[in-house]
Chain A
Amino acid sequence: MIFTEFRFLAFFAIVFSLHWLLRGPTLRKSWLLLASYTFYAAWDWRFLSLIWISTIVDYIAGLRIAGSEAPTTRKRWLQLSLLANLGVLGFFKYYGFFIGSAESLLTSIGFEANLPTLQIILPVGISFFTFQTMSYSLDIYYRKIQPTRSLLDLSLFVGFFPQLVAGPIVRASEFLPQLKEQRTLASVAFKPALLLFMCGFVKKACISDNLAPMVDAYFETPELWTAGASWIALTGYAVQIYCDFSGYSDMAIACAAMLGYRLCLNFDAPYLARDIGDLWRRWHISFSTWLRDYLFIPLGGSRCSAWRARRNLFITMTLGGLWHGASWNFVLWGAFHGLALIVHSVWRKSAGKSLADQMWWKPVASILAVWFFVACLIPFRSPDFETIGVVVQAFLLFQDHGPDGVTSGWVYYFLALYGAHWLASWLRKGNAIERIPTPAFAFGLGILAALSFAFMRVDHPPFIYFQF
């Protein structure tokens, strides 16, 4: 069940109605938890057990860490929590990758390797909910939060359906206090929430899904296309992935808002970033801040020697790449971004300092950052290293591989992307929407819904980030 499917709209209408009809916070939370598990079970009910394991382990670990002052005991319980979460993630997501890589390595140095391989299904959203639960134990360990004594609250924090399968990666410190708040239907800002949902719907169903066939066609046979086509296909993919993921985040935030909960911002017009560092502050914000707080800073952060700070940045970004998928392509993608951030920080401290204030430099820096981001999508989107080679030749060396070009229809999608960026920034100025009279808003929303259905694809391709 995905957010752009009609059955999700029906599901949400039921969840929403009953949620606000029920009296008392415990009943409401129980209902939301049941709805969340039903939502997840629509994919595969068997993997609900992983969510339960993760929840129970962190529930116990959280209480034990907080209940002890002995550093060794606290550390042991934290290790148990991390081991359980990373163990689940490692087995389901990375087992095949590490076994395959080890086998290739052994073969290349002359050993006959026959390591045990397994056909493992990747449970949807596993990278998101394991990171979320880990942050709970880590925050308790670092004494940033107190553990919850309510298993119901923790279960809802882990399983809350709007963000369960593709984020935003919510922190316990942001979500758990909300479960204690009294909420009423009257306090929900419906207009911004409904418009945000529509905005996300349009981004995913009307822009991203319609760009997918063009991008897929290019990456299936890059050897048949011109260099110009590679530029259009890669830029198209940048638009596709942004609209896909930020569209999902918008819909998740909007659904949560309609149920009375606040989720953090996940995208902030990334393609209008000033530089590559700024781009990463605007792209998948909940993930990049997670990496900063739970990986980069524990490694030493930037409060150490320049060399170590750069090393920390590189490790963080490379592991961030690996988080996206069990493949060397993603590792490469993360490593490129790590290097770019290092180069950017060095440059900013030297030559860039004087340039940064120049008016003409700002658009140049912005274009360079987006271009680099687009170029890095080559390993991210390519199925194998052979494809990476062909696309790099076309995109960076302007080599025409074949006669096929791309039609001019893509222009509409770039215009739509600009519209989506503009609408997102307008939406954040909440007052503008509130000023619209409700009858006019309702009528306009009806028009927008009818238009967006007309521009959907006939099928419902899943969100790209579901595979991560």
Chain B
Amino acid sequence: MLRFTLHLLLFFAGFLLTVSWIQSLVPERQKLEWLDVVQQDVDVIFIGSSHVFRQIDPHLFDLERGAAAGEFRSLNMGALGMGLNEEAYMLDRILDESTSNLRWIVIEGLPFDMKFQNENDFGKRRLEWHDSASTWRLVQSILQGDLPSEEKWSQIQRHVEHWWRRSINLARGLDVVEAMTSEPPSFDGNPGLGVNQDGYVPLEVETATKPARVRRQRFLKNPKPLLEGARALPKPYSDEHVVDHYLRSLVKEMEARAAKEGVGIIWWIHPTLEPFHSWRKMLADGDIQHLLAYNQPARYPAFFEVRWRWDLYHLNRKGSEMMTKIFAADFKALTSAAEGADGQ
């Protein structure tokens, strides 16, 4: 028995040493590597899904805010299909960097979906954000939440499995081999970072993915859902609206984490056709400090016109430029008011 235990320990020693060695070689995602290079120049960062990645142009944003930007610049760290949990993970990673000049992080307000229906279930990025902190946070929230117990355990099992897969570097071997055998990444002219190296890649025929092109064709054939959705959007908001328990606790935690580093969060809602009442409710309840919502056809009718859209879910390049300009003006007003209030 003693010998068996010794052999088992040796097996785990070999296993854990190799796991740690591989972990030290796993390359960082490109945008975080780029942030590492330019961190001292950056004062505003955008995080979110394709709505951020495809619709917020940091270069134009910096031009629009003009003197307010000073010597600093902004950076778009959005990625296709990013969900709220991944945003929280990215926030942690960004704040872990020594970004001493960072003042604001603009985060896309997203609907919360515990089943992650909008993400690739087995994607590497999903494993990536299941670090110990995120997984523990999820497990705690699921335990405290009001899901039926069977669903609770199945959710917990799923997240713990993702955490385990991440811990053993599942599917990262080829990334390591590629990083070891290829030249160190060059950021010059890197298409993933966009032409201005600010992480923004607009939706155009050349840059759109195949599914995005298919969605565009479908949208151009039948734009009715956009027009009808926009007409139906001003849904009555009530103070009685119930915010999901997990959403509220995660958002509060993100706010506290950023505040601790002296960074403000602005929650941004893109011109979606959903009412997103939870975010308004959280603003009213003081869980979040700043919210800029563009899902208001009455106030921003152009965002809901076919000519400014790529598809039902995204603006095209021109629409994104318009969005960025409007957002820059709102940002300027909001931050000067907030910084003025802080000064007093």
Contact = CB atoms under 8 A, between A and B. Distances in A.
Interface of A: 6, 206, 210, 412, 438-439, 442-447, 449-451, 453-459
Contacts of A458: 122-124, 127, 165, 170-171
Contact of B18 (A439, A446, A456): A446
User: Main SS of the interface on chain B?
Assistant: helix
Contacts of A444: 14
A454 B169 contact: yes
B174 A446 contact: no
B168 A454 contact: yes
Contact of A456 (B8, B15, B22, B171): B171
B169 A442 contact: no
28 contacts: A6-B164, A206-B173, A412-B177, A438-B3, A438-B7, A439-B10, A442-B8, A442-B11, A442-B14, A443-B13, A444-B14, A447-B14, A447-B18, A449-B11, A450-B15, A450-B18, A450-B22, A453-B168, A453-B170, A454-B22, A454-B170, A454-B171, A454-B176, A455-B173, A456-B170, A456-B173, A458-B123, A458-B171
B174 A210 contact: yes
Interface of B: 3, 6-8, 10-19, 22, 121-124, 127, 161, 164-165, 168-174, 176-177
B174 A455 contact: yes
A459 B171 CA distance: 9
Contacts of A454: 22, 168-173, 176
A445 B13 CA distance: 10
Contacts, number: 76
Contacts of B10: 439, 442-443, 446
Contacts of B177: 412
Of B3, B7, B12, B165, chain A has the most CB atoms within 10 Å of the CB of: B7
Contacts of B16: 446, 450
Contacts of B173: 206, 451, 454-456
Contacts of B176: 454
A334 B8 CA distance: 47
A450 B14 contact: yes
Given A453-B170, A454-B170, 18 more contacts: A438-B3, A446-B10, A446-B13, A446-B16, A447-B14, A447-B17, A449-B14, A450-B16, A450-B22, A451-B18, A451-B173, A454-B22, A456-B170, A457-B171, A458-B170, A458-B171, A459-B121, A459-B122
Nearest to A194: B11
B249 to A, nearest CB: 28
The 5 A-B pairs of least Cβ separation, nearest first, read A446-B14, A454-B173, A450-B18, A446-B15, A455-B173
A454 B174 CA distance: 8
A15 B6 CA distance: 22
A10 to B, nearest CB: 11
Contact of B14 (A206, A438, A443, A459): A443
B167 to A, nearest CB: 10
A303 to B, nearest CB: 53
B14 A445 contact: yes
Contacts of A206: 173
Contacts of B3: 438
Nearest to A206: B173
Nearest to A445: B11
